[in-house]
Chains A and B, each alone.
Chain A
Amino acid sequence: MNAIILSALAGVVMMLSGIFTNKQSVIKLVSIIALLVLITGNVLQTYGHCSIQIDTKNLLAFSKAGLYFNTLIFISTFVYFILSGKAIEKAGVNVAEYFALIFFVLCGVSILTSFNGLLMFFLGIEILSIPLYILTGSDKRNLKSNEASLKYFLMGSFSTGLMLMGIALVFGATGNFSLNATGQKTAYDVLNAGILAPVGLLFIFISMLFKVSAAPFHFWTPDVYDGAPSVFTSFMSTIVKAAGFYAFIHLFETKSYDLGPSWKLLLTFAIVLTLLVGNITAIFQHSVKRMLAYSSISQAGFMLFSLYSSNTLAKEGIFIYTVAYSFATIGVFAILIYLKDYTFDGYNGLAKTQPVLAFTNTVFLLSLAGIPLTAGFFGKYFMLASAVKAGAPLMLVIVAVLFAAISVYYYFKVIQAMYFKQGDAELNDNVPTSFKTALIAIAIVIILIGIFPSTVLNWLYF
């Protein structure tokens, strides 16, 4: 509860701070402090010191896992603020509002990690989404940003409609919105006894596939990620997406939420298609930003494995994956924002002019590609391991790794441009030392997690 309230409050504070000061660095500072307070509050609650006790009437249920996930998300946001804070300042005039919206998103995330019924789930998703529609369109003069925003909004609302239809059908079949109660009612074999509940779940499932940008409901992703201001793409494609996944798993982890035998089939279909679309389409991109958008689709394909296997390994995996993926993507975007030219050629020769940027970017990209010794490897490792453990057909796992290999192709294109190609990568701005330090720190964290993922896992079991 701390997280929800504090993040909402932080949002309000940020909103108001815009009135009192115009100094953007102050606003940024306030936001970082607010975030730290938020983290502290959440950690306190994790260890049983809930300062605000509210009876949620069983609408919210705070689990350890959810709180840990909150912390992870907040830390990722912290990293995001550190690395991209400057870019947020430059994104437009309404800096305070941007921060406020980000905090509202975090509020949505906190709800999504603790919902105990479809109502809160729905509200969480909406609180998560609405600020994003705005952040996407925040570069008002830019037609691409406008377009992205409208596309996102229209398609997002459409998927909300689908989700609501699903919820209504589930309610019709069970008379309940609660996860637990619904569970009891549908614990029998849905094939024989009911149709509306599974169909409803199918709708929710589809809308969640949409939210986590899994194929064939991914179409919004490339356009939106490409059109949105880079700094917010970074936020959307990492923190928000991870939260979406957590909600997705949280929603479907109870066995009773079963769509029947075809459940796995549909999921398999979605996984393969997502990997296919994400990886294959990413290859032909010229813009690194758009490539990253597709790559985020392909990463979603991997993350879907956690849903497929839905065992403890999968849950551990989604944590590691979140950290690995978020840190790396935030880093890559933070560097991308500094570049003048977002195409692959824009990276040519970066290693010569900016060795630190090039090196850290390499670490991030290796992590995204899932090369061992980086956190990304363990992310993928857990996903595959959980799938194998859950008895997935080996073919599926093999397909996944083949696509992982394909993904190397486009990630390494960036590395090749930076290190092996001639050119002078032009930057927008001078790169401050603090930024470089932060990058190195995060690269080190990624490598450390890549070597000792147990440190993160042990903390989960603490």
Chain B
Amino acid sequence: MIPVLLIFIPVFAGLISFLLKNERTVKGWALVSSLIVLATSIGAITTNNPASTLFDATWLPSLGARFTVSLDGMSKMLVLLTAVAFTLVFVATNKNEYKHTAAFYGLMLLTQAGLMGVFLATDCLLFYFFWEFALIPVYFLCSIWGGKKRIAVTFKFFIYTFVGSLFMLVGILYLYFLTPDQSFSLNSFYSLKLTLTQQCNAFLLFFIAFAIKMPIFPLHTWQPDAYEQSPTATTMILSGVMVKMGLFGVIKWLLPIVPLAINRYAMPVMILSVIGVLYASLIAIKQDDVKRLIAYSSIAHIGLMCAAIFSQKNIALEGVLIQMFNHGINVIGLWIVANAIEQQLGTRKLSELGGLAVTAPKLAILTVIMAFANVALPLTNAFIGEFLMFNGIFQYNIWLAAVAGISIILAAVYTLNMVQKIFYGNTVTATEKAIDIDNNVFLSLSITAVLILVLGVFPQPLIDLTKSAVHLLFVK
């Protein structure tokens, strides 16, 4: 029953949110709802009772599609991430002003429902449904509340991902007709015995969607623009949770179904990913806009995760799972910082910032923590994931690991660049009158920081949560 709650609490909360009039009520309502979802998701990760982790109902009997949602280790973790992310976002952006507040929060909550659905669905058609369901509110969020070039940029984003998901739809149909019982259920898909050609067909069709969503080089160009132009709250969700959809898809919907194809395409995909990692890191060095910088940094991180998945080593996969969570937390932290800066100073340009540590020491300290989590310093959460992932890539191919490893140097360069240009030096016009962050931002950043450190020192609970999922993927 829990999975259903996880999906439908945000749906109803979102629909109700549309009807609310008062701005503060809406914000409070959204926060309350996200807290309830958070509580539910904590319940979800602690339970193992099949009655509460699985829900199955008829949906489209004639098509062989059922409304099946269930929790396994991986989805538990991602559900938790989604819940945490939304709570953090709502807390951190509480002071942001939006026109049509009710609609904004309504759409945000609907996005949450979509994301939950993606992570929970074990029926492929349902998965596809939620996949798109998560996208549409985001389209409106970005187009209505975004920056100057929002319409064109969001549209590019939408078309890009939509093309991808249509390919996936063809792939889903392709596999569906190969299943013996004409069913969309995950188990039928897992029980498929496919020839190499069939696997390759299915792989290519699915992977385009996932690759665009992640995104991996060279399909990434929608992302920096979209991140830059979206309202920050949405950007947080986009980069914190939504990009995980692609990785999640590969792990859950590709890896066990088309192992031969994965094996066959592993090398090219990994090379692309590694190129993307370096490419994005190098571009990040030159970025002047904080949001774009974080965007490229995110592309680099995701590229590494993609490479790790395709190494097909269970240690790397474990790393990816952990990193999905950790990257989500970290990048949201960075966005909160970016948002705090933009809200207060009205600029995101590194060249217009400087010396903020003088006027906003709390923000500076917390940002430094985020920054070092971003460069995967040991004892921050990101280290564990990267450590395991690099291990796996290393097992697959030493040279790839070595080349990808350059990114840990480049990551230090661009991240520290950012910290330096924002916080160090003497104050400039933009930062002279800045005041330190308010309690909301402080609270959310502190939570993030605590998560970063706690998971950096005690990653084992997260590993234990997802261990079985990784194991199952390789047993199949």
Direct contact of A and B (CB under 8 A): yes
The answer, yes or no, to whether B144 is at the interface (CB within 8 Å) is yes
Q: Assess A371 versus B155: contact at CB under 8 Å? Given A394-B201, A401-B170, A457-B62.
A: no
Complex: A145 Cα to B132 Cα, angstroms: 41
**Most chain B CB within a 10 A radius of its CB, from A366, A372, A377, A454:** A372
A373: chain B residues at CB < 8 Å are 129, 132-133, 136
Chain A neighbourhood of B129, CB < 8 A: 372-373
Q: Which of A371, A398, A408 contacts B170 (CB 8 A)?
A: A398
Number of A-B contacts (CB under 8 A): 77
Which of A371, A385, A461 is B173 in contact with, Cβ under 8 Å?
A385
**CB neighbors of A among B136-160 (8 A):** 136, 140, 143-144, 150-151, 155, 158-159
Q: Classify the interface of chain A: helix, strand, loop or mixed.
A: helix
- CB-defined contacts of A454 to chain B, threshold 8 Å: 59-63
| Chain A window 405-439, contacts with chain B (Cβ cutoff 8 Å), 1 for yes, 0 for no | 10011001000100111000000000000000000
Please give me the residue from chain B that is nearest to A386 by CB atom: B173
B132: nearest residue on chain A (CB-CB)?
A372
With A373-B133, A405-B163, A454-B62 already in contact, the answer to whether A394 and B155 are too (CB < 8 A) is: no
| Subset of 28 A-B contacts with CB under 8 Å | A371-B136, A372-B129, A372-B132, A373-B129, A377-B132, A384-B169, A384-B170, A385-B176, A388-B173, A388-B177, A394-B201, A397-B170, A398-B205, A401-B167, A401-B169, A405-B159, A405-B166, A408-B158, A409-B155, A416-B151, A419-B140, A420-B144, A420-B150, A421-B151, A452-B60, A454-B62, A454-B63, A458-B62
Residues of B within 8 A of A401 (CB): 163, 166-167, 169-170
Residues of the B chain whose Cβ atoms lie less than 8 Å from the Cβ of A452 = 59-60
Q: How far apart are A350's CB and chain B's nearest CB, in angstroms? A: 14
B169 touches A420 (CB 8 A): no
Contact A405 B61 (CB under 8 A): no
Instruction: Please pick, from B155, B166, B169, B174, the residue contacting A412 in the complex, using a CB distance under 8 A.
Output: B155
Shortest beta-carbon distance from B208 to chain A in Å: 10
CB distance from A168 to the nearest CB of B (A): 41
| CA A67 to CA B27, docked complex, whole Å | 52
* Residue-wise interface mask of B (290-302) relative to A, using a CB-CB cutoff of 8 A (1 in contact, 0 not): 0000000000000
The tally of residues in B whose CB lies under 8 Å from a CB in A reads 30
CA distance A420 to B142 in the complex (A): 10
Apart from A388-B173, A408-B158, A453-B60, what 14 extra A-B contacts exist at CB < 8 Å? Answer: A371-B132, A373-B132, A388-B177, A389-B177, A394-B174, A401-B169, A405-B162, A408-B162, A419-B144, A420-B143, A420-B144, A454-B60, A458-B62, A461-B62
Query: Taking the nearest CB of chain B, how far is it from the CB of A349, in angstroms?
Result: 12
Quick check: is A303 within 8 A (CB to CB) of the other chain? no
Distance of A429 from chain B, by nearest CB (Å): 27
Contact B176 A420 (CB under 8 A): no
Q: Does A318 contact B (CB under 8 A)?
A: no
* Structural contact, A388 and B170, CB atoms closer than 8 A: yes
Q: How far is the CB of A335 from chain B (nearest CB, A)?
A: 19
List chain A residues, Cβ under 8 A from B176.
385, 388
- Within 8 Å of chain B (Cβ to Cβ): is A381? yes
Indicate whether A402 reaches chain B with its CB closer than 8 angstroms. Answer: yes
Name the residue on A nearest B136 (C-beta).
Answer: A371
For chain B residues 59-90, which have a beta carbon within 8 Å of chain A?
59-63
Q: Check: A201 CB closer than 8 A to any chain B CB.
A: no
Residues of A within 8 A of B128 (CB): 372
Complex Cα distance, B58 from A452, in Å, reads 10
Give the CA-CA distance A381 to B173 in the complex, in Å: 9
CB closest chain-B residue, reference A370: B166
Asked whether, in the complex, the Cβ of B174 is within 8 Å of the Cβ of A388, the reply is yes
Nearest CB in chain B to that of A421: its residue:
B151
The answer to whether A398 touches B167 (Cβ under 8 A) is: yes
Q: Give the CA-CA distance A389 to B173 in the complex, in Å.
A: 8
Contact between B143 and A419, CB atoms less than 8 A apart? yes
A174 to chain B, nearest CB (A): 36
Cα–Cα, bound, A453→B167 (Å): 22
CB-CB nearest in chain B for A387: B173
B181-225 interface mask toward A, CB cutoff 8 Å, 1 = contact, 0 = none? 000000000000000000001000100000000000000000000
In the complex, which residues of chain A have a beta carbon less than 8 angstroms from the beta carbon of B60? 452-454
Q: Which residues of B contact A366 (CB under 8 A)?
A: 136
User: In whole angstroms, what is the CA distance A397 to B204 when docked?
Assistant: 14
What residues of chain B lie closer than 8 Å to A385, measured between beta carbons? Answer: 173, 176-177
Q: How far is the CB of B137 from chain A (nearest CB, A)?
A: 11
Q: Is A404 an interface residue (CB 8 A)?
A: yes
Alpha-carbon separation in the docked complex, A402 to B166 (Å): 8
Q: In the assembled complex, how far is the CB of residue B279 from the closest CB belonging to chain A, in whole angstroms?
A: 26
Chain A window 348-375, contacts with chain B (Cβ cutoff 8 Å), 1 for yes, 0 for no: 0000000000000000001000011100
What's the Cα separation between A389 and B133 when bound, in Å? 26
A346 to B404, CA, bound (A): 52
Which partner residue on chain A sits nearest B130 by CB separation? Answer: A372
A372 / chain B contacts, CB cutoff of 8 Å: 128-129, 132-133
- Closest chain A residue to B145 by CB distance? A420
Q: State A385–B140 Cα separation when bound (angstroms).
A: 29
Q: Which of chain A's residues has its CB closest to B208's CB?
A: A398
C-alpha gap A416/B140 in the complex (Å): 9
Chain A residue at minimum C-beta to C-beta distance from B163: A405
A279 to chain B, nearest CB (A): 13
